[in-house]
Amino acid sequence: MAEFIGMPDGSGKRLVIVAARFNASITDKLVDGALEACLKHGMRLEDVDVVRVPGAWELPPAVARALQTERYDACVALGAVVRGDTPHFDFVAGEASRGLALLQGEFGVPIGFGLLTCDTMEQAEARAGGAHGNKGWDATVAVLEMADLFGRLDLTDAEDGDAGAA
């Protein structure tokens, strides 16, 4: 039996952060948290690209276009959708989430999910560096772990069958 566990090691990896500009007071903090996590986990800023899109709805097509370049080992999608008085929230949050999930399967590249879906701006602020931490940081650490795990799994094709085992 082999057990495979990834580590949040960004050294030697390339990452794209795709961030919505809508609710910039929140998303800018998520981007800052993501960049801090990159540096803390061995990445160089020159190996990180930040792509800004209008809103959460635009996250999936921008992520798809970035991943089509085959330039990145991982991606982090960041945004904040705050519930309002109309069903707009349900459509945007649900479809953006679904689109990002489908892209992971299509491209085989891990995508960190940093799309906040909150009832209030106060909840979003708490998750963008407030009382609940920074979900941009969390999504980046998780995706670096997954990228490392994928690399370990890829090593199982090497001559030494347990090269990627932890």
Active site residues: 88
In angstroms, the CA 56 to CA 29 distance is 16
In angstroms, the CA 107 to CA 68 distance is 8
User: Exposed, middle or buried by CB within 10 Å (0-12, 13-18, 19+), for 60?
Assistant: buried
Closest CA to 56 of 125, 132, 133, 115: 115
User: Exposed, middle or buried by CB within 10 Å (0-12, 13-18, 19+), for 117?
Assistant: buried
Distance of CA 115 to the CA centre of its chain: 9
For 150, residues 6+ apart whose C-beta sits below 8 A from its C-beta are 6, 73, 108, 110
